[in-house]
Chain A
Amino acid sequence: MTPGVNPVGAVDNVHRLLGHPSDLKGHLDAHGPLNVAHGRDGSWQQDLVTSLEASGLTGRGGGAFPAAIKLALAQSAGPGGTVVVNAMEGEPASDKDALLLTRTPHLALDGAQYVAALCRAVRIVICIPIGRDSVAMAVNQAIMARARYRYAPVREEIVRPPGRFLTGEESALINWIESARPLPVFRPDKGAPLRIGRRQALVHNAETLAHIALIARNGAGPFRARGMTEEPGTSLVTISGDVKYPGVVEIDRGTPLWDIAVRSQPVEPVQALLVGGYGGTWVGPAHLGTPYAPIPLRTIGAAAGAGVIVVLGKTSCGLAESARIARFLADQSAGQCGPCVYGLPAIADDVAKLARGEGSGEDIVRLHHRLDQVDGRGACRHPDGAVSLVRSALAVFSSDVAAHGQGHPCPQWRKPTSLRFPRPVRL
């Protein structure tokens, strides 16, 4: 492998994000030079968009939007914009972006460079939350190496927004960059581009950019060789909860949920899996064989979300854990929209009451009514996530709901949580 020669395929021609060298030289040896054509010739850009389209890559930050379409829209919005690398990872149970940027920062950074070249952006901003200082250090070292060897055509800089749950929401992140207020913006027209000042802002999840970097170098083939035909490629998933080895794994898309969970070795029989994050959904024993891909997950009312799987063992109480999550989500409201500010705490109160065994049948009916009322009525999808979490809890733990609702809570509701929650972060 001669450095400086752009290979047609990677060293072993297998698409993967983890396991590559961290340093710049190793990175170049493994993948070849950046070779980004910033010239006027449009053919390179067209080739890249074609590759991305062929690859079928979708966003890995929770939105799952086809990358090729997003970039084509961005191209038409004009030059001079900013590429925003979203490594905010507000989900407490998610570590994949942190791991990726600590182990292989150059992949995500290269991805940002490719996107910048495609859309003629003039700046790359990497958003790493306050509290993830080791990630910031690793990325900073990488940026300095890239600058030293004049490797990066577009200037790269790190910014440190506050680590609240919603700061990673696209419009909130842009709002923070522009005006230091990490609050989501009401965007009825989702197709309209985000802007910083008068120029467009392109927000991409760090993992998505890493995939783009590999597809740009190696073409769509290796990416499509993994995963399913309808849902190709790999994903990073963080596994936590009642497991012996919590951590991040890279899986082929379409792997059954159970096969992903066992890689972390659950310490006891599994009661349910939380898929997608704290704004995701519980999946019960009947559906643990569902493939990790959008369409199969949607048929059971779930979504891949932010690449999070939390394992709930038999000795935990699903309602109690859901009550904690609902409380966390209520606390993390941006405080802008009435249904979220008032509705989420009310829902959290209801679920907590149920978990303690103090709820009644009327309370459950009122809870369902509130869930219907709050769903979809915020400026962002935060309340929607809370609603889907609670709804899935009521469905998956329905026997618990019946018992708790009659004043017979399971003794496990007092058990300390197996879930991860951050320390408080003030705005």
Chain B
Amino acid sequence: MNSTSLWYATRASGIVALILLTLTMVLGLVTTSRPRARNWPGFAQQELHRRISIIAVVFVAIHVVTSILDTYVHIGWLAIVVPFTSPYSRFWVGLGAIALDLMVAVFVSSLLRAHLKPGTWRAIHWVAYASWPVALMHTFGMGTDSREHWVVALGALCVFAVSLSLAWRVRATAKRRASVPTITDHLVPLNRHVTTARTRGPL
């Protein structure tokens, strides 16, 4: 493989990885407990989210390996996982390393999920959401294709999709919280000592 084809492979797999990561984010965000629409198979969406994330990781792996094998610029194996140690384009490659580290954390914690406390797994997963904006910045910061119109349009589409999903999730969570019963005004004349304050619980 010559340097040019490796370079093309790096760029192409990077773009595909970004698209797949965006899709993973959307599928993961657009869920909520107590769903109203019972026609939508929630378990299938969760499974899709998982499988697409694995394919995304595969493309990230291709992206990373080809970028190192390509000797045109020197990045080095260490810089893949330790951020900001690459001789080439230190900052933007560093962002890529951060995104990779976060993805690896999610991957490993999900494999070991049964042995982790549920809170631990959830915390790692939430932190890993940060890998997406970091990957996005890495994509456009590296600069190789970021001036192409179609790449910019793609990036905008990804941002749009994730923003919309995030907004949906925030609203759905708020709606769910609001739907938990609170005590309303007195439905039956009550003795003055009766509580009117609803204490649903400490959470």
Residues of A within 8 A of B (CB): 164, 181, 183, 320, 323-324, 327-328, 330-331, 333-336, 341-342, 345-346, 349, 352-353, 355-356, 413-414, 416-417, 419-427
Contact A342 B202, beta carbon cutoff 8 Å: no
Residues in B with CB closer than 8 Å to A181 are: 202
Residues in B with CB closer than 8 Å to A331 are: 183, 195, 198-199
Identify which of A335, A353, A355, A420 contacts B200 (C-beta below 8 A).
Answer: A335
Residues of B within 8 A of A (CB): 180-181, 183, 187-191, 193-203
Across the two chains, which residue of chain B brings its CB closest to A356? B188
Give Cα A331 to B190, complex, Å. 14
Give Cα A350 to B189, complex, Å. 15
Give Cα A426 to B197, complex, Å. 9
Give Cα A419 to B188, complex, Å. 14
Give Cα A423 to B191, complex, Å. 11
Give Cα A29 to B78, complex, Å. 82
Question: Which 4 A-B residue pairs are closest in the complex by CB-CB distance?
Answer: A335-B201, A424-B195, A345-B181, A352-B187
Contact B195 A334, beta carbon cutoff 8 Å: no
Contact A333 B194, beta carbon cutoff 8 Å: no
Residues in A with CB closer than 8 Å to B187 are: 323, 327, 349, 352-353, 356
Give Cα A353 to B196, complex, Å. 18
Across the two chains, which residue of chain A brings its CB closest to B202? A427
Shortest distance in angstroms between A339's beta carbon and chain B's nearest beta carbon? 12
Residues in B with CB closer than 8 Å to A413 are: 188
Identify 22 residue pairs between A and B in the complex whose beta-carbon atoms are under 8 Å apart, listed by A's number: A164-B199, A181-B202, A183-B202, A323-B188, A327-B187, A327-B188, A327-B190, A331-B198, A333-B200, A334-B201, A335-B201, A341-B180, A341-B200, A349-B187, A352-B187, A352-B188, A356-B187, A416-B189, A417-B190, A424-B195, A424-B197, A426-B199
Residues in B with CB closer than 8 Å to A342 are: 180-181
Contact A422 B188, beta carbon cutoff 8 Å: no
Give Cα A320 to B181, complex, Å. 21
Give Cα A353 to B195, complex, Å. 19
Give Cα A346 to B184, complex, Å. 12
Identify which of A328, A334, A345 contacts B194 (C-beta below 8 A).
Answer: A328
Contact A330 B194, beta carbon cutoff 8 Å: no
Given A181-B202, A183-B201; A421-B183 close (CB under 8 Å): no
Contact B191 A421, beta carbon cutoff 8 Å: yes
Residues in B with CB closer than 8 Å to A324 are: 188, 190-191, 194
Residues in A with CB closer than 8 Å to B203 are: 335
Residues in B with CB closer than 8 Å to A349 are: 187
Give Cα A419 to B194, complex, Å. 10
Shortest distance in angstroms between A39's beta carbon and chain B's nearest beta carbon? 43
Give Cα A346 to B199, complex, Å. 16
Give Cα A424 to B200, complex, Å. 12
Shortest distance in angstroms between A416's beta carbon and chain B's nearest beta carbon? 6
Shortest distance in angstroms between A357's beta carbon and chain B's nearest beta carbon? 11
Shortest distance in angstroms between B201's beta carbon and chain A's nearest beta carbon? 2
Contact A320 B188, beta carbon cutoff 8 Å: yes
Identify which of A183, A355, A414, A419 contacts B191 (C-beta below 8 A).
Answer: A419
Contact A416 B195, beta carbon cutoff 8 Å: no
Across the two chains, which residue of chain B brings its CB closest to A322? B188
Identify which of A345, A353, A420, A424 contacts B199 (C-beta below 8 A).
Answer: A424
Contact A417 B191, beta carbon cutoff 8 Å: yes
Residues in B with CB closer than 8 Å to A333 are: 200-201
Across the two chains, which residue of chain A brings its CB closest to B34? A338
Contact B181 A423, beta carbon cutoff 8 Å: no
Residues in B with CB closer than 8 Å to A328 are: 194-195
Assuming A335-B202, A422-B195, what are 9 further A-B pairs, CB within 8 angstroms?
Answer: A327-B190, A331-B183, A334-B201, A335-B203, A341-B200, A352-B187, A417-B194, A425-B199, A427-B201
Give Cα A181 to B202, complex, Å. 8
Across the two chains, which residue of chain B brings its CB closest to A417? B191
Give Cα A181 to B203, complex, Å. 10
Give Cα A336 to B203, complex, Å. 9
Residues in B with CB closer than 8 Å to A421 are: 190-191, 193-195
Q: Tell me which of B189, B194, B197 has the highest count of chain A C-beta atoms within 10 A of its own C-beta.
A: B194
Shortest distance in angstroms between A313's beta carbon and chain B's nearest beta carbon? 16
Residues in A with CB closer than 8 Å to B190 are: 324, 327, 417, 421
